[in-house]
Amino acid sequence: GAVVSQHPSRVICKSGTSVKIECRSLDFQATTMFWYRQFPKKSLMLMATSNEGSKATYEQGVEKDKFLINHASLTLSTLTVTSAHPEDSSFYICSARYTGGDTEAFFGQGTRLTVV
């Protein structure tokens, strides 16, 4: 299957700093990527849909100024958590699907963010 690479897998940062998470589709072009957040023992929560060359579509309740998404190319989307606080500590996962939609979502490995 297709490979989606997410980096870093783990990051610890100080409160008030910003953290960038990268999501790359290695062997296919992803015009759309998805960013999820997952709390312990909870399901995936869609944060935003990242569209190549245009602004991301954020889900209700997700602060677009805090979670900056840039989909600069067909193989790269980035999520920047700005001015991180301890409550932003979570597991962030990106996924991508082939254009057309009716196929499985390929997931990155996930990023465990801890804000201290």
- As beta bridge partners, residue 53 has none
Give the footprint of another protein on this chain (CB under 8 A). Answer: 1, 6, 34, 41-44, 46, 49, 91, 93, 101-110, 112
Nearer to another protein, 67 or 106 (CB): 106
Distances from the Cα of 47 to the Cαs of 7, 14, 34, in angstroms? 18, 23, 8
φ, ψ at 86 (rounded to 5°): -50, -35
Task: CB nearer to another protein: give 51 or 82.
Answer: 51
Residues with Cβ within 8 Å of residue 43, at least 6 apart in sequence: none
User: CB of 4: closest distance to another protein in angstroms?
Assistant: 9
Shortest Cβ 95–another protein spacing (Å)? 8
Shortest CB 21 distance to another protein, Å: 13
